Amino acid sequence: MSVSVAIVGATGAVGGTMRSILAERDFPVSELRLLASERSAGMVVGTPWGDLIVENLADADPAGIDIALFSAGGGRSREHAPRFVEAGAVVIDNSSAYRMDPDVPLVVRQVNDAAIKGHRGIVANPNCTTMTLMMAAGPLHTVSPIIRIVANSYQATGGSGQRGMEVLTEETLALGADPDALVSGEWKDPGNDLYPRPIGFNVIPLAGPLGDQGYTDEEWKLVNETRKILSDPAISIEPTCVRVPTMVGHGVAATLYFERPMPLVEATAILSTAPGTQLWSDDRVPTPLDSAGIDDVLIGRVRQTIGKPGGINLWVVGDNLRKGAALNAVQLAELVLEL
């Protein structure tokens, strides 16, 4: 069965990755339409389906579209996704607009696939950091329910879109021109229009805007989305999200406690067969560079807790543009077709 597919936000970093993944996975595209803001409308983009003209989302007619992959921000999703659904499309939305809507399934492919069955035309793609953690936490939770998570994320600048990666490049060049100043403290802030502090040669313990109780929106996403995906609103979650000077690849260092003590041998056995992941042994340390450009989420540093025995500490890292966004969206579209 071939279907008509639209990518909304087609000229962004995630939109471009969606195009590539549709081709890589031989998705049955009968027609591909590219939509974006008025600023990008009229651009000609080369694709495996020929050179395509980017349409203006605001006045595009969604008639005839079967699957719409949205990655254009929450505001545009709230404004336009309903009219795509009314025209007959199934919308896979990569923004935060519908994630916590009780009528919209929030699905990590290979973790909670069954949740998609109740969709009413919109399926939400989780936040990239939550998604990465769920690839490891989900299989463990299935065997013994998780009761508490302490999670510290190390999020790449690519999570801020193309501009985030540009800022990192610019500041690395500017600050790297005087390495002695980085040691002496005499460095000069190059200034940027995205982050509250320099990201070049630095880490910023504030990913996303501040929200309730002094936690950022990225941290609240990790809390609320984890509970929804694992279908347990009682899970205790302590999050800290940090922006780090990498291009792609969100990492999460997590401590997990379960309803019963989880032996290390059991945890490693579960993780060694978790779909969509690779479990790396102690002599191989998975890093963001290792995760860049691949579909699998990498798991490493798996060990027993020592402060309070019975839990599991682990490290997980995944390409935020692929499994963290575009790949999962395409996988959800595949699941829609299967159903």
Burial class (CB in 10 A: 0-12, 13-18, 19+), 193: exposed
Which strands form 250-258's sheet, in the order they lie side by side?
236-243, 146-155, 250-258, 312-318, 297-304, 277-279
User: pLDDT of 230-260, one tens digit each?
Assistant: 999 999 999 999 999 999 999 999 999 999 9
Question: Residue 172 half-sphere exposure, CB side, CA atoms within 13 Å?
Answer: 12
Q: pLDDT tens for residues 279-309?
A: 999 889 999 999 999 999 999 999 999 999 9
pLDDT 10s digits, 133-184: 999 999 999 999 999 999 999 999 999 988 999 999 999 999 999 999 999 9
Q: Which of the four pLDDT bands, split at 50, 70 and 90, describes residue 216?
A: very high
DSSP H/E element including 153: strand 146-155
Task: Please report which helix (H) or strand (E) contains residue 328, including its range.
Answer: helix 327-338
Q: Which of 80, 119, 141, 250 is catalytic?
A: 250
Sequential DSSP letters for 230-258: TT-TT-EEEEEEEE-S-SS-EEEEEEEEE
Q: How far is CA 281 from CA 19, 53, 272, in A?
A: 33, 47, 10
Tally of CB atoms within 10 A around 289: 12
Per-residue pLDDT tens over the stretch 49-63 = 999 999 999 999 999
Return the number of other C-beta atoms located less than 10 Å from residue 248's C-beta: 24
Tokens 């969100």 belong to 250
Domains and CATH numbers, the chain: 3-126+326-338 (3.40.50.720), 130-156+203-319 (3.30.360.10)
- Give catalytic status of residue 128 as yes or no: yes
80 is a catalytic site residue: no
3-state DSSP assignment of residue 177: coil
Mean pLDDT of 184-193: 96
Q: What is the mean pLDDT of the chain?
A: 96
Instruction: Please answer whether residues 136 and 271 qualify as being in contact, where contact means their C-beta atoms are separated by less than 8 angstroms.
Output: yes
Are the C-beta atoms of 233 and 227 separated by less than 8 Å?
Answer: yes
Using DSSP's 3-state secondary structure scheme, residue 37 falls into: coil
- 80, 119, 128, 141: which one is catalytic? 128
pTM: 0.95
- Say which residues have a Cβ less than 8 Å from residue 339's Cβ, sequence separation at least 6: 116, 117
